[in-house]
Structure 1
Amino acid sequence: MQVFIFGAGYSGKAFAAARPAGATRIVGTTRDEAKFPALQASGIAPLTFGGRSVSGNVINALADTTHLIVSVAPDDAGDPVLAAARETILGAMPRLGWIGYLSTVGVYGDHLGAWIDESTECRPTSARSRRRVEAEQQWLELGRDASLPVAVLRLSGIYGPGRNAFVNLRDGTAKRLIKKDQVFNRIHVSDIAGALWHLAERNLGGVFNVTDDLPAPPQDVVAYAAQVMGVESPPEIPFETAELSPMARSFYGENKRVSNALIRRTGYSFRYPDYRAAFDAMWADGSWAGDAAGARSPIRAS
């Protein structure tokens, strides 16, 4: 198996770190050559991809690729990977057997807190989510044109080592915003990696929600992290008076409970089925900080 990742960022590095035993080769792209050492440390052979064209080195690596993962968001001009590499994928990747596209549960839009699954109508409210719906369809169409399985993974809010409520509490940036009846799903980055490997090794295509079992109010997540850390929880802040960026505020305009039953039916078992299990494990092993040296660093007042 040779894997190529367009956009080998946080999730891509977790995927590489979770590789099963064997000689799997993983190549991944970044916009910035300064990130090459971090990719190499994760076991990824780094290449650059800037947006609308692919270099000869990328084309050569794609020629030997058996499994392609795309973790690059569409922009106002569309999907940059499709714009740059669609013809290469269709005509110059003879070994390709599977494509995975990382999307978002934001494509569903607002469902007033109801439970939804992959059969639920997508009615995105933001421009970025509308672009995601279009990109999903284009990747699925490419799969049909190439007679290849394409797995679209709709991810909920991503957290894991270095990106979690513990870090926010340590840094004094944690907030407990209160909006009546608001819930969000989440997903630990290890389960993104696990789901990708599960689907890739079986060449499974389709649309899958990759999300936890416990949609929960965001303030409860912060409070639980503070309890585990043994620090005081930040005060509650009414959503209406909170200072938020337009993007952060837009997330609160969508309320839904996302089911992961479909990917479970394929045989995938979540390592962290909810944030409590993940927080307990990350605090116990020190991985929450993202590096061993910072695992028990002092907590600043919130």
Structure 2
Amino acid sequence: MVLVIFGAGYSGKAIGQAFAARGQTVYGTTRSSRKAAALAALGIEPLIFDGETLSSEALAILARATHFVQSVAPGPEGDPLMRVSQGDPFLLMPQLRWASYLSTVGVYGDHDGGWVDEESACRPVSQRSVERVEAEQQWLAAAGKADIPLAVLRLSGIYGPGRNGFVNLANGTARRLVKPGQVFNRIRVEDIARASLFLAERGEGGIFNVTDHEPAPPQDVVTEAARLMGREPPPEQAFETAELSPMARSFYGENKRVSNAKICNLGFVFEFPDYRVSLAQLWAEKCCPAEAS
């Protein structure tokens, strides 16, 4: 197996490590040459991709790829690999047997706190989620044309070592914002990696919600992290009075409970099924220092 990950960031690195631990050859792109050594230390061969041009080295490696993960978010100009490949990235990967596109549960938009699954209507609210829907459609169409199984992973709020409530409490950025009825799903980065490996080894295509079992109010997660740390949580604050960036505020404009039943019914088991199990493990394993940028 030769895996190429476009966008070896927080999730991409975790995916790469999971595949490398199985003895697979893994390549991952980064925009920064200074991050190349860090990728290599994780067992991921670094590739520089500036978002505009594929080098001859990158093209040669894509031609060898048997598995592929697209982890780069689209922007106003669309998906970067779709753009540089003129809309058909699978022509660059003649050996490909499976591909994955990392998306977001934001594509569902607001469902007034109701449950959604992979068959639910997508009615994105934010521009970035609109862009995600368009990118999903492009990748699914291209995969269908190439007859390649494509797994679209719709991810909820990502956290894990270096990115969690303990870090926020330690650096003073944690807040308990209360908006009545508001809930969010979350997902540990390691479970993203495990789900990717699970689907790749089975050659599964389709759309999958990769998210924990328990949508919960965000203030409850902060309270639990503070309890484990043995400190007082920050005071509750009404959402309406909080000063937030437009992006942060937009998250609270979407309220839904996301089901992960589809991937579970295939036999996948989440290692971190809810925030309490996850935070307890992070605290016990001292996975709390902030990740270096």
Superposed pair shares fold, TM > 0.5: yes
1:175·1:219 contact (CA, 8 Å) conserved in 2?
A: yes
Report the number of matched residues.
291
What is residue 183 of structure 2 aligned with on the other side?
A: 183
- Displacement of 1:169 after TM fit? 0.6
Distance between the aligned counterparts of 1:10 and 1:77, measured in 2? Answer: 23
Whole-angstrom CA distance in 1 between matches of 2:206 and 2:7: 21
Distance 1:268 1:20 in 2: 20
SS in 2 for 1:18: helix
Structure 1 residue 42, shift from structure 2 partner: 1.4
Say if 1:53 and 1:85, in contact at 8 Å, map to a contact too.
no
Aligned partner of 1:252 in structure 2 is 252
Unaligned runs of 5+ in 1: 292-302
Counterpart for residue 192 of structure 2: 192
Q: Displacement of 1:17 after TM fit?
A: 2.2
- Can you list the C-alpha shifts for 1:64-118, whole angstroms capped at 9, x where unaligned? 1000000011111111111113577333422100110000000000000001100
**Which residue in the other structure is 2:277 paired with?**
277
What is the deviation of 1:22?
Answer: 4.4
Q: Which residue number in structure 2 is paired with residue 119 of structure 1? A: 119
Q: Which residue does 2:57 correspond to in 1?
A: 57
Residue of structure 2 in register with 1:46 after alignment: 46
Distance 2:68 2:118 in 1: 22
Q: Which runs of 4+ in 1 moved over 6 A?
A: none
Cross-structure match for 1:97:
97
* TM-score computed with the length of structure 1 as normaliser: 0.93
Q: Which residue type is aligned with residue 167 of structure 1?
A: V
Contact 1:54/1:85, CA 8 A, preserved across alignment: no
1:21 Cα deviation after fit: 4.9
Which residue of structure 1 lines up, in the alignment, with residue 265 of structure 2?
Answer: 265
- Tell me, yes or no, if structure 1 residue 31 matches structure 2 residue 31: yes
Q: Please give the root-mean-square deviation of Cα atoms over the aligned residues, in Å.
A: 1.3
| Partner in structure 2 of residue 220 of structure 1 | 220
8 Å CA contact retained: 2:82, 2:88: no
Counterpart CA distance in 2 for 1:67 and 1:17 is 14
- Structure 1 residue 161: Cα displacement: 0.3
Which residue identity is paired with 2:26? Answer: I
Contact 2:17/2:42 (<8 A) preserved:
yes
SS for the counterpart of 1:287 is coil
TM-score of the superposition, structure 2-length normalised? 0.96
Aligned partner of 1:294 in structure 2 is none
1:148-185 CA deviation, whole Å, 9 max, x = no partner? Answer: 00000000000000000000011111100011110000
Three-state SS of the structure 1 residue aligned to 2:141 is helix
Could you tell me whether the CA contact under 8 Å between 2:167 and 2:290 is conserved in 1?
Answer: no
Question: Taking every aligned residue pair, what percent have the same amino acid on both sides?
Answer: 58
